Structure 1
Amino acid sequence: MDASLRRSRVRRTVPIVTAVVAISGLLGGCSQSGSAAPREPSSPSAPTSRSSGSVTDSLQSDYQRVIKNVLPSVVQIDASNSLGSGIVYDGQGHVVTNAHVVGNGRTFKVWASGSSSAITARLVAAYPEQDLAVIKLDSVPSGLKPAGFGDSAKVEMGQIVLAMGSPLGLSSSVTQGIVSATGRTVSEGQGGGGTGATIANMVQTSAAINPGNSGGALVNLDSEVIGIPTLAATDPDMGGSAAPGIGFAIPVSMVRTVADQIIKSGKVTDSGRAALGITGRTVVDSGYQPAGVAIVDAKADGAAAKAGLKPGDIVVKAGGTDITTITSLTEALAAHKPGQKIEVTYLRDGARKTAEVTLGEV
């Protein structure tokens, strides 16, 4: 299941219509704009206690406390042709969100929690390679509350989490679930507004992620943001409909790394992403099945060229992972860091060869 999810099953959604709201959107992406200003948010509801026991009462109190602490730091973003969510990053009015939420936009309307009017914001920079972006409010409203951020190293399976955002344009909405897994490598599709990014170390969660949640907050019971909800899985066997309870959030470590660089320099200066330094294309075998990545171009100062690989070579294994497509190569590299050495197996004139490659950086 994991491999198929990484390769093809995680993509943004087909239109959704419910009996209550009729906003079509992209699952785990931003909702298509078509509504007026966001509805005035109602008070978030917490799970109903079915027991008078102290454990149930305590958990319900935890939920309510986290919602009260974090929801004021989650905003709705109107990108003119789509709706998404964002997190207040600092007291200067920087808001971090997904790159696919901002798309090609440069200016946006931002609705803070409980606000009845929008604030104009402008793009600082987007980094589609990790599906992250930072925008900045033109004016900082009184009482704007930056979110608190957690530690990715402390995120574990089974932890209770809340997802906060504006699914289907319903601002200040909260869903709950657990951390289902960590360390997932997931590839976005490029269709429907996706960036085509391959993102490593994502947090898998059972908390519902719907169109408009993207860019919002995945929060633990310590009121710390541990990730940005970005994608939900779809099931191709069910016509591309949502696969319930399988969503993915970009880990907070990557969020902070990218956001800090964008705020400081206006761009990402150190991606931390490993690269071979090649341009490649997927090749097929005699049965028309993907069978490797042919090197079309290898940068003279790139990792592959330095290790002796050249145009015409076909990469079939990298770091112990079989390579059949460009996507599988990208996913294999996502598990490594620049400067690491890996063994690359390739075909040259029909002969199988190996080379030790010191990885470069994207």
Structure 2
Amino acid sequence: MDASLTRALRKAVSAVAPVCCAALAVGCTGSSAPAVQDTAAPARTAVLPAVNELQAQYQKVIKEVLPSVVQIQASHDLGSGVVYDDKGHIVTNAHVVQSEKTFQVTTANNEEPLTARLVYSYPEQDLAVIKLDKVPAGLKAAQFGDSEKVEVGQIVLAMGSPLGLSSSVTQGIVSATGRTVSEGSAGGGTGATIANMVQTSAAINPGNSGGALVNLAGQVIGIPTLAAADPGLGGSAAAGIGFAIPASMVKTVAGQIVKNGKVVDSGRAALGITARTVVDDRYQPAGVAVVTVSSGGAADRAGLRPGDIITRLGDHSITTITSLSEALATDRPGQRMTVTFQRDGAVRTVEVTLGEQ
């Protein structure tokens, strides 16, 4: 290659190079390079109004419902309650009031505690009603929803006074419905077995008991009552597993208490016995031994007697007192059931018409 040709090629390369660099420089700005465009921008623009709308709905519900949630102070315990009507009736858990008769109540609109008295406590369903001695101006009753319309996945807010922090709100979803839960008697619990409870992931802590579980329509769909305990953690509360008594049961029980001063129709089935759990030769729960039989009760009419060991009620296998309570909690008074039991080493069955607790 001669010198003149070499010089010509060098000039050509020198002329092209600035053009290439200029093209690369333009590409780095992203203004003319579709491969690196921010395609998520339209999605973010569309999502932002929806997020703002959801947040606004949260705030609206809290503003509407929180004034109906109160803090209840007993002499040795603290819990929450929900204003049931404009006459000063407040529904809460029986384990909040325990055996006490008078209480200090702090509402959202009153810094000074108000005095209240017990109307009636119904430990079998862990519900109670107290009444303010003086109804303050502007007291707002909560709106209770329809338990039949509660669905898994619904967003819910739990309102109450966890650990004494009044007017606190936590958020979660309905994790399940129709749970039958047995409440321990230790630590102030009633030992009740309660059917059809609403399970939620919203945080339920000590002090939340008796408060409100609320949907985004501003309706109380349940009364938070207890959190699940994890045996692997020494009985500590299991995070994200709480239970609330459904609004339908709250209205049924509280309505009777407000009208009659007591529960006159519990809707809870009973056999009319006292009993204890028995174990087999491997020390495993094997049934429920009848200790006493109430005269004229369901078991008495069916011919059950002390010493019989109940092993089945209808379709439910019975191994412990808790399993018997859970089976009865799902049944109704007047329902006919087959009871399987052992007497003198022989297995027998009998038809029983369930009574009322």
Q: Select the structure that is richer in helix.
A: 2
Residues 132-177 of structure 1: CA distance to partner in whole angstroms, max 9, x if unpaired?
1100000000000000000111111111100000111111010010
| 2:224 corresponds to | 229
Q: Tell me, what secondary structure is at the counterpart of 2:217?
A: coil
1:117 is the counterpart of 2:115: no
The one-letter amino acid of 1:109's match is Q
1:272 is the counterpart of 2:270: no
The one-letter amino acid of 2:226's match is L
| 2:204 corresponds to | 209
CA distance in 1, matches of 2:75, 2:46: 45
| 2:76 corresponds to | 81
Runs of 4+ in 1 over 3 A off after TM superposition: 49-52
Q: State the structure with more CA Rg.
A: 2
Q: Tell me, what secondary structure is at the counterpart of 2:86?
A: coil
CA distance in 1, matches of 2:155, 2:314: 34
CA distance in 1, matches of 2:233, 2:76: 28
CA distance in 2, matches of 1:80, 1:191: 18
Closer, same or farther: CA 79–152 of 1 in aligned 2, 3 Å: same
* Higher normalized contact order (CA 8 Å, seq sep 6+, divided by chain length): 1
1:52 offset after TM fit, Å? 5.8
Residues 190-239 of structure 1: CA distance to partner in whole angstroms, max 9, x if unpaired?
11100101110000000000110000000011100000000001211122
Calculate the aligned-residue CA RMSD, in Å: 1.4
Structure 2 residue corresponding to 1:143, chosen from 138, 146, 157: 138
| 1:356 corresponds to | 351
Structure 2 residue corresponding to 1:68, chosen from 36, 59, 63: 63
Residues 291-321 of structure 1: CA distance to partner in whole angstroms, max 9, x if unpaired?
1111122223111222222222110011211
1:152 is the counterpart of 2:147: yes
| 2:297 corresponds to | 302
Residues 8-62 of structure 1: CA distance to partner in whole angstroms, max 9, x if unpaired?
xxxxxxxxxxxxxxxxxxxxxxxxxxxxxxxxxxxxxxxxx99962221111111
- Unpaired runs of 5+ in structure 2? 1-43
- Unpaired runs of 5+ in structure 1? 1-48
Closer, same or farther: CA 184–172 of 1 in aligned 2, 3 Å: same
1:291 is the counterpart of 2:304: no
The one-letter amino acid of 2:197's match is M
| 1:194 corresponds to | 189
1:266 offset after TM fit, Å? 1.3
CA distance in 1, matches of 2:136, 2:45: 40
The one-letter amino acid of 2:119's match is V
1:114 offset after TM fit, Å? 3.4
The one-letter amino acid of 2:353's match is T
CA distance in 2, matches of 1:296, 1:86: 38
Which stretch shows the higher mean deviation, 237-246 or 223-232?
237-246
| 1:102 corresponds to | 97
| 1:163 corresponds to | 158
Identity across matched positions, percent: 71
The one-letter amino acid of 2:155's match is I
The one-letter amino acid of 1:254's match is M
TM-score, scaled relative to structure 2: 0.86
Structure 2 residue corresponding to 1:325, chosen from 312, 320, 323: 320
Residues 54-109 of structure 1: CA distance to partner in whole angstroms, max 9, x if unpaired?
22111111101110110000000011211100000001000000011111211100
CA distance in 2, matches of 1:274, 1:332: 9
TM-score, scaled relative to structure 1: 0.85
Which stretch shows the higher mean deviation, 290-299 or 271-280?
290-299
Closer, same or farther: CA 111–51 of 1 in aligned 2, 3 Å: farther
